[in-house]
Structure 1
């Protein structure tokens, strides 16, 4: 009897060892990556969170840690030297990086509409770019995607910056508009107009993407990773692509998934942040999800040359991006 019980115990123990060994092997098969994202955890990054929580990365045998940072330049530099392999980086930063010899490559377009616009009080009478002439307009400063978009908007409408009263206000657009410090301001359209409406008054928004087509944020890697591990690049691209599509199709569920990552969001802010997510989704939608348009890169480079972000055009602008790793039906 005792021998029979002992045999069962040994069999159970061996079975547990086998299961444990199998799990350890499965864990060892996973490729660990750090995914760089500028800014703080936000529902605006829900496609990454959804791709993790829904197992899209795991199905590609990829384990992801998300690193949020306000320092996009640091992310660019670390991806360039292969300290990091992947990040969400804006298109103009890819061009700036390649102009400096940093071999970044943009492999999937996340934002199909440029996320910057001009916000004004709804009763200001400012409804189109020409109405900005002579007005006091706030900008974060003469740098980054927001300034590039601002200058592209002016150029597309034959307006000179000197035709406006431009004031650098940092990232304080809601306060500057609400207090009347400026009559209009450059903003990120997903959230800042909503903040002003919730705290002050109704607003109007001039969307830069209605006037000029610029490259915005996307999935970026480097030439070394593409050369040495194209399967990893393809896997990350597929997983994120699925994440974006999932959020577009299931915004309520995506919002709930995001709460695990946006840990400091008070419940009183849920409705506002749900609207931020819906606003963001409108910027992501496309009939060719993930595919970037070469014409956008040409336009973006032209604007960057005009405003001095780069001193000469890239010899190999086409090398700054690729459609190679997208799901085939989206190329």
Structure 2
């Protein structure tokens, strides 16, 4: 169930089409949706978009699988899992092309690397999420058993994660951009492991094939607006600053300025999902769930709904 609902468009005509979008976490990957609203791109396509905020990818994907939402802003690995479980879903566009998370600890913590997590509590967003899979992958690669050698705590995102870290409920937490920058700028914290250097099929737009087969034109209209906004954010620093300021009203000017520099390198271009990023995702998934390692790119990713250049 969504923990919050907000309409991204306003003042739309009755003839317009409504699309329900579930968001695993508001982050830099969702900036194109906000920019599309700010600039009237959804209205240009005669669609209305409702967004439903969730605490991580797993509950958002549950809503997608049940048909409660039409499109999910989620990690791409959820599309792989849905397909493997008999619920065909497709990644219809990429929002980011880099992994978005880093592990943070208090500056005073005795934890300084992954090897120090033995017996500790690690905060993830939710079970089966990008944070869960990625942590299990790197820990297993070091010979650390994620289920035996430490405790995974499902915390959610952003403010709850920081509160859990500050109060000692967890020893290390996973934060995404821009929360990484905000937390690091606001106190004594350190990065334990940074996944953000990975090219990765991280945050994407995912839809069930059943929805796409019945609403292909609506999906194309939605993507035209989103990709138009995504392309704008790569070339217009003012548009990016406006979107960041609205999404993060408590951030000071210096932090917004830093994000204007940092964000574009993580945003996908033209909604494309790279083969290399997909391969990295499958490698991580295969280490956690070996049966997922054999699902090819073409079974999960489609370009059929992207705007024609």
What TM-score bracket applies, with the shorter chain setting the length? 0.7 to 0.9
Aligned partner of 1:281 among 255, 258, 263: 263
Kept in 2: contact 1:80–1:103 (CA 8 A):
no
Q: Deviations over 1:48-92 (max 9, x none)?
A: 122122121122221222222336445434434544322212111
Contact 1:305 1:313 in 2 (8 A): yes
> Match of 2:80?
95
3-state SS, counterpart of residue 160 of structure 1: coil
Does the 8 Å contact 1:174/1:196 carry over to 2? no
> Structure 1 178/193 Cα, relative in aligned 2: closer, same or farther at 3 Å?
farther
Task: Give the Å deviation of 1:169.
Answer: 4.3
Residues 37 and 67 of structure 1 are in contact (CA less than 8 Å); yes or no, is this contact kept in structure 2?
yes
TM-score (norm 1): 0.70
CA 1:91–1:28: 2 relative to 1, 3 Å: same
Question: In structure 2, do the counterparts of structure 1 residues 153 and 213 end up closer, same or farther at CA, with 3 Å as the change threshold?
Answer: farther
**Quick check: 1:35 aligned with 2:21?**
yes
The separation in 2 between residues aligned to 1:243 and 1:193, in whole angstroms, is: 24
Supply the distance in 1 between the matched residues of 2:288 and 2:15 (Cα, whole angstroms). Answer: 47
Q: TM-score, normalised by structure 2?
A: 0.74
Q: Which residue matches 1:109?
A: 94
Residue 280 of structure 2: SS of its match in structure 1? helix
The 5 A counterparts of 1:63-82 are 63-70=48-55, 72-80=57-65, 82=67
Instruction: Report the CA distance shift for 1:276/1:29 in structure 2 as closer, same or farther (over 3 A).
Output: farther
User: Corresponding residue for 1:19?
Assistant: none
Aligned CA-pair RMSD: 3.8
- Asked if 1:235 corresponds to 2:232, the answer is no
Larger radius of gyration: 1
Q: In the alignment, what sits opposite 2:188?
A: 201
Does structure 1 retain, via aligned residues, the 8 Å contact 2:102–2:191?
no
Q: Is the 8 A contact 2:89 2:207 kept in 1?
A: yes
Deviations 1:204-248 (A, max 9, x none): 4632143x5432111122212332332222211111112223334
Hey, what does 1:119 align to over in structure 2? 104
Distance 1:181 1:85 in 2: 35
Per-residue Cα deviation, 1:74-123 (whole angstroms, up to 9, x for no partner): 54344345443222121111112122211221111101111112235679
Q: Tell me if the contact between 1:51 and 1:242 (Cα under 8 Å) persists in the aligned partners.
A: yes
Would the alpha carbon gap of residues 143 and 81 (structure 1) be closer, same or farther in structure 2, given more than 3 Å must change?
closer
Cα pair 2:19 2:70 within 8 Å, conserved: yes
Q: Per-residue deviation at 1:317?
A: 5.3
C-alpha contact (below 8 Å) 2:58/2:128 kept by paired residues: no
Q: 1:175 and 1:318 mapped to 2: Cα distance? A: 41
**1:54 to 2:39 alignment:** yes
| Structure 1: runs of 5 or more not aligned | 1-25
Closer, same or farther: CA 187–283 of 1 in aligned 2, 3 Å: farther
Counterpart check, 1:159 vs 2:142: yes
Distance 2:262 2:121 in 1: 23
1:117-164 per-residue CA deviation (whole Å, 9 max, x = no partner) reads 22356798988xxx4324455422564211211233346xx4122499
Task: Note if contact 1:214-1:299 (Cα within 8 Å) is conserved in structure 2.
Answer: yes
Pairing 1:220-231 to 2, within 5 Å after superposition: 220-231=206-217
1:303 is the counterpart of 2:284: yes
The answer to whether the Cα contact below 8 Å between 2:114 and 2:139 also exists between their aligned partners in 1 is: no
Tell me the residue number matched to 2:205.
219
Counterpart in the other structure of 1:319: 299
Kindly state the Cα deviation for residue 311 of structure 1 after the two structures are TM-superposed: 4.4
Instruction: Describe the shift of the 1:57–1:119 C-alpha distance in structure 2 as closer, same or farther (beyond 3 A).
Output: same
1:293 equivalent in alignment to 2:293 = no
Consecutive unaligned residues of structure 2, counting only runs of 5 or more, are 1-11
